[in-house]
């Protein structure tokens, strides 16, 4: 092979490489909201496929990042305010509101959301904030459980999670059978599904940082949920988003709060260990 | 969402002649009138079609809004203040409601 041909082959290889692996680095900006610096990069916990876990904020467009950084402009804050109203509103047969038992959420719910999902000994499965709210409503307030993704459910969940704003995510996997749910969630994360034959890991691990059409693939972290998505112009819950991803692989969607999605929530939340709770985050 | 709730952000104080930044946000679904419900019926348009801001009775900024504007409309604009007073904000809804908010500023 003469020299020119070798060079040509090298150039072609580079060109093909670029075409196949359009990679864009997540930005190195710092996210500061109301003077509070968020942890958007954290050393990964043991057993994690990445060295560093990255917040989805680092992958978004500058305008979207700016919207989250300004707590006034962030439309998600409207839902935090709405959640506070719900917190203080009496509902159900027993004439109680959340505040009747839990008083001031800024004290009683402080940092609580950063450690969900938790083990629930009664039902012997993990419980997330939405289900915890339903439990309180049915058992303590004599009210009905929320329908999945009811506007009030999203607002109240957002408000409670917001009380952990800035707190690093940390799950307690030692409680109950959390570890086996984590194992199950991990298995699901790596299982290819749907007509497109994609696993969570196909996009959010193997292709993290690349583009899937116009979308800059993040690590798929849960720390910003419920999150304000510009596409829906509304708050989007974690289970809604997971169902959306599964739909996009053209698979059948598991029901919200089903065993499949609860296991996935445990595992995916763990993958974001150390990141600040950003609720209400703003995403594309 | 429940009743639209406005939020405004105006500095509490400023120097005479200073240009201040004013931010406003209101929760509103801004239903465009283009969407259909599950039964195929058109969901009627319901948007906020006008926003206005005045300072001590004098207009500062106003605009008409159209159905293509996203939910929860946000406005940011500047105003030059020469005296202390009150900013008054109004949003007019297609359903006839008017949402208002006020913010005072101390000018020295």
> What tokens appear for A83 in the block?
């959640």
Domains and CATH numbers, chain A: 21-284 (1.10.760.10)
Domain assignment of residue B39, yes or no: yes
Q: Are A151 and B1 inside 8 Å of each other by CB? A: yes
Summarize the confidence of residues A14-38 as an average pLDDT. Answer: 75
Domain assignment of residue B17, yes or no: yes
Structural domain harbouring B46: 6-107
pLDDT band at A18 (very low <50, low <70, confident <90, very high): very low
Q: Write down the number of H helices and E strands in chain B.
A: 0, 8
Summarize the confidence of residues B73-91 as an average pLDDT. Answer: 94
Domain assignment of residue B1, yes or no: no
Chain A residues with beta carbon closer than 8 angstroms to that of B2: 82, 85
pLDDT band at B26 (very low <50, low <70, confident <90, very high): very high
Give percent above pLDDT 90 in chain A: 88
Closest-CA residue to A114 (of A232, A278, A283):
A278
Chain B residues with beta carbon closer than 8 angstroms to that of A75: 25, 27, 71-72, 74
Residue A11 has pLDDT above 90, yes or no: no
pLDDT band at A280 (very low <50, low <70, confident <90, very high): very high
Q: What is the pLDDT of residues A166-213, one digit of tens each?
A: 999 999 999 999 999 999 999 999 999 999 999 999 999 999 999 988
Residue A3 has pLDDT above 70, yes or no: no
Domain assignment of residue B71, yes or no: yes
CB B5 within 8 A of CB A80: no
Q: Please give the DSSP secondary-structure letter assigned to residue A215.
A: E
Question: ipTM of the assembly?
Answer: 0.80
Domain CATH number, residue B12: 2.60.40.10
CB atoms within 10 A of CB A259: 13
Kindly report the average pLDDT of chain A as a whole number: 91
Domain assignment of residue B31, yes or no: yes
Residues near A35 by beta carbon (within 8 Å), at least 6 away in sequence? none
Give exposure, A154-185, as e/b (b: 16+ Cβ within 10 Å): bbbbbbbbbbbbebbbbbebeebebeebbebb
Strands B58-64 and B6-9, sheet pairing: unpaired
Q: What is the pLDDT of residues A96-130, one digit of tens each?
A: 999 999 999 999 999 999 999 999 999 999 999 99
Residue A78 has pLDDT above 60, yes or no: yes
**How many separate domains does chain B show?**
1
pLDDT band at A19 (very low <50, low <70, confident <90, very high): very low
pLDDT of residue A213: 87
Q: How far apart are CA A126 and CA B40, in angstroms?
A: 39
pLDDT of residue A200: 96
Query: CB distance from B35 to chain A under 8 Å?
Result: no
CB A59 within 8 A of CB A216: yes
Domain assignment of residue B14, yes or no: yes
Residue A12 has pLDDT above 80, yes or no: no
Residue A16 has pLDDT above 50, yes or no: no
Residue A51 has pLDDT above 90, yes or no: yes
Q: Which is higher by pLDDT, A237 or A21? A: A237
Q: Are B1 and A82 inside 8 Å of each other by CB? A: yes
Angle among Cα A150, A273, A117 to the nearest 5 degrees reads 40
Q: Please give the DSSP secondary-structure letter assigned to residue A139.
A: I
> What tokens appear for A278 in the block?
């950003």
Query: CB distance from B72 to chain A under 8 Å?
Result: yes
Residue A37 has pLDDT above 80, yes or no: yes
Chain B residues with beta carbon closer than 8 angstroms to that of A151: 1
Nearest CA in chain B to A70: B23
pLDDT of residue A222: 96
Summarize the confidence of residues A237-250 as an average pLDDT. Answer: 96
pLDDT band at A17 (very low <50, low <70, confident <90, very high): very low
User: How far B71 CA sits from the closest chain A CA (Å)?
Assistant: 6
A98 is catalytic: no
Q: First CA to last CA across chain B, in angstroms?
A: 40
């Amino acid at each position: 092979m003469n020299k020119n041909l070798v060079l040509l082959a090298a150039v072609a290889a580079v060109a093909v490489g670029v075409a196949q692996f359009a990679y864009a680095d997540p930005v190195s900006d710092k996210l500061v909201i109301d003077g509070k610096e968020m942890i958007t990069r954290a050393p990964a916990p043991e057993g994690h496929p990445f060295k560093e876990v990255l917040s989805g904020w680092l992958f978004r467009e500058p305008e979207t990042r700016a919207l989250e950084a300004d707590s006034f402009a962030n439309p998600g804050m409207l839902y935090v305010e709405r959640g506070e109203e719900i917190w203080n509103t009496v509902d159900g047969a027993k004439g109680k509101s959340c505040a009747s038992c839990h008083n001031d959420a800024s004290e009683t719910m402080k940092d609580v959301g950063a450690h969900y999902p938790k083990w629930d000994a009664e039902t012997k499965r993990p419980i997330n904030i939405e289900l915890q709210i339903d439990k309180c409503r049915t058992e303590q307030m004599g009210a009905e459980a929320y329908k999945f993704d009811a506007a009030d459910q999203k607002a109240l969940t957002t408000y409670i999670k917001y009380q952990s704003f800035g707190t690093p995510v940390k799950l307690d996997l030692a409680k109950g059978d959390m570890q086996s749910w984590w194992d199950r969630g991990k298995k699901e994360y790596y299982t290819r599904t749907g007509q497109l034959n994609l696993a969570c890991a196909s996009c959010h691990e193997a292709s993290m940082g690349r583009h899937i059409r116009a979308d800059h693939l993040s690590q798929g972290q849960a720390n910003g949920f419920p999150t304000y998505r510009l596409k829906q112009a509304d708050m989007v819950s974690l289970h809604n988003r997971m169902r959306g991803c599964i739909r996009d692989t053209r698979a059948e969607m598991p029901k919200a709060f089903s065993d499949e999605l609860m296991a996935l929530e445990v595992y995916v939340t763990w993958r974001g260990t150390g990141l600040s709770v950003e609720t209400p985050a703003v995403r594309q | 969402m429940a009743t639209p709730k406005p939020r405004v952000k105006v500095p509490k104080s400023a120097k005479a002649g200073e240009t201040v930044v004013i931010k406003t946000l209101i929760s509103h679904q801004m239903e465009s009138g283009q969407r259909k419900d599950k039964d195929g019926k058109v969901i009627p348009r319901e948007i906020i079609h006008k926003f206005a801001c005045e300072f001590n009775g004098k207009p500062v900024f106003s605009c008409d809004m159209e159905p293509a504007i996203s939910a929860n409309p946000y406005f940011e604009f500047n105003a030059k203040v020469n005296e202390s007073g009150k900013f008054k904000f109004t949003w007019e809804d297609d359903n006839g409601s008017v949402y208002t908010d006020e913010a005072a500023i101390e000018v020295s």
